Amino acid sequence: MTILTILLLACITFGTRYLFLEGRLPVRMGSNLKLFLSYSGPAVLTAITMPILFVHKNQLDTALDNPYLWGALAAIAAAYKTANIYWTVGLGMLVFVGVSSQIL
Amino acid sequence: MNALNNGIKVSVRKGVVDMLPLSLAVLPWGILFGSIAVQRGFSWIEAQMFSAIIFGGAVQIVTVELIADNASLLTVLFTAFVISSRHFLYGLSLREKLSSKPLRWRLGLGFLLTDELFALSGHRRAFQGKLRLIYGLAAGGSFYLAWNLWTFIGIVAGASLPDLTELGLDFAIAATFIALVVPEIKTLPTLAAVITAAVFSLIFSLWEFELGLILAALLAMCAGFTVQNLRRAA
């Protein structure tokens, strides 16, 4: 019974992922839809990122000792200057760990 | 032939390395899932099957609790569907790039299309040409292996490990996504989309609204679309 439930759940996660990759599905990609979808990357990634940074224990955390705030500012600066994923993650993590362990 | 082999090696390595911060960042959640599943009475094979074939962090953690609490099958499936609904947006966004590819690539990359793989698929020429397909497969595949390994550790040792989710490893996800988004903010419409997503994702998250992520993203896309059309009209 549990196995059957797991299989059905697998159908849901795979089905939702695969559906629109199927060419035979009749979806017309008009220019309006394409323009709309062109913002999906930044939109989704920002929507995942912001709660990680500022919602802790279901509370808005904008305190100045929030290490996520300083780590994010360092990461934004690094991303702006270098546009490089390794520099951005490296510098961001460094500042994040520094502030969380109260070294900085 | 040598040059091609070399190109494949480079693509695989880059895919794995680009995904690495995200693969490591989900370690606490993989362990948490494995540990919860065993504690709630699932066999270790069932627990590992969740990660091996369902392969979705939030879906797994929520449904394993629902099943253990004897929720109806319909409730379990509907909840999974709601959490998974954001995948429709990922598939639709990648449709132009992937729908013409051979079936085995679509099935493979479709199966691996998590938030994390979508995050690394933003390049204008993503999945175009064999090497970029291999890059995607290596990125998604390495994340799959990591998630299953963390689950296994949780199943075997979860009860004896401390809760690692408060460790702040999720900052690596935030930093990676910042690295991917900031260089994209070159135009006013994209800036409008990012600000809209930022504001609404925080509001919906504080409301603990399950569809908040997808709704915030859709509102942000509307904002970008509208600003672009206003500029065209002006």
Q: What is the pLDDT of residues A2-26, one digit of tens each?
A: 999 999 999 999 999 999 999 999 9
Counting DSSP H helices and E strands in chain A, the numbers are 5, 2
Please name the residue of chain B whose CA is at the shortest distance from the CA of residue A100: B168
Distance CA B11, CA B139 (A): 9
Which chain A residue has the Cα nearest residue B92? A20
The closest CB to that of A29, out of B56, B89, B96, belongs to: B96
Residue A1 above 80 pLDDT?
A: no
**Looking at the partner chain, which of B67, B175, B217 has a beta carbon nearest the beta carbon of A47?**
B217
Span A27-56, pLDDT tens digits = 989 999 999 999 999 999 999 999 999 999
A66: left (phi over 0), alpha (psi -120 to 50) or beta: beta
pLDDT in tens, B70-105: 999 999 999 999 999 999 999 999 999 999 999 999
Rounded Cα distance between B194 and B196, Å, is: 5
Compare CB distances from B190 to A37, A39, A68 and report the shortest one's residue. Answer: A39
From chain A, the residues in CB contact with B21 under 8 A are 89
User: Residue A104: its pLDDT value, please?
Assistant: 67
Q: How far apart are CA B64 and CA A6, in angstroms?
A: 10
Question: Does any CB of chain A come closer than 8 Å to the CB of residue B93?
Answer: yes
User: Closest-CA residue in chain B for A79?
Assistant: B179
Residues of A in contact with B222 (CB under 8 A): 36
Q: Which residues of chain B register pLDDT less than 50?
A: none
A91 Cα to chain B: minimum distance (Å)? 9
Place of tokens 């299309």: B113
Q: Taking the CB of residue B26, how many other CB atoms lie within 10 A of it?
A: 23
**Close Cβ partners of A100 (under 8 Å, ≥ 6 residues apart):** A67, B168
Which is more confidently placed, B66 or A1? B66
H helix or E strand, kind and range, residue A88 = helix A85-100
Record the tokens describing residue B6, joined without a space: 């070399």
Helix or strand run (H / E) with residue A55: strand A55-56
First-last CA distance in chain A: 53
Give the residue with greater pLDDT, A99 vs B165: A99
Helix (H, G, I), strand (E, B) or coil at B50: helix
Q: Is B94 left (phi over 0), alpha (psi -120 to 50) or beta?
A: alpha
Determine whether the interchain pair A17/B225 forms a contact, defined as Cβ–Cβ distance below 8 Å.
no
Neighbours of B96 (CB within 10 A): 12
Select the residue of A21, A76, A88 nearest B91 (Cβ to Cβ).
A21
Contact state of B221 with A71 under an 8 Å Cβ cutoff: no
Nearest 5°: the CA angle B184, B187, B188 is 125
Q: Which amino acid is at A86?
A: Y
Q: Are A56 and A100 in contact (CB under 8 A)?
A: no
Amino acid occupying residue A51 = P
Which of these, B131, B175, B117, B99, lies nearest to A87 by C-alpha position?
A: B175
Contact status of B184 with chain A (Cβ, < 8 Å): yes
Radius of gyration of the CA atoms of chain A, in A: 20
CB–CB contact B220 A47 (8 Å)? yes
Check CB contact of B67 with chain A, cutoff 8 Å: yes
CA distance B58 to B36: 13
- Alpha carbons A79 and A75: distance in angstroms, whole number: 6
Residue of chain B with shortest Cα separation from A74: B175
Q: Tell me whether 0.85 is exceeded by the ipTM.
A: yes
Would you tell me which residues 20-39 of chain A have a C-beta closer than 8 angstroms to some C-beta of chain B? 20-23, 27, 29, 32, 34-39
A48 → chain B, closest CA residue: B213
Q: Which helix (H) or strand (E) holds A59?
A: strand A59-60
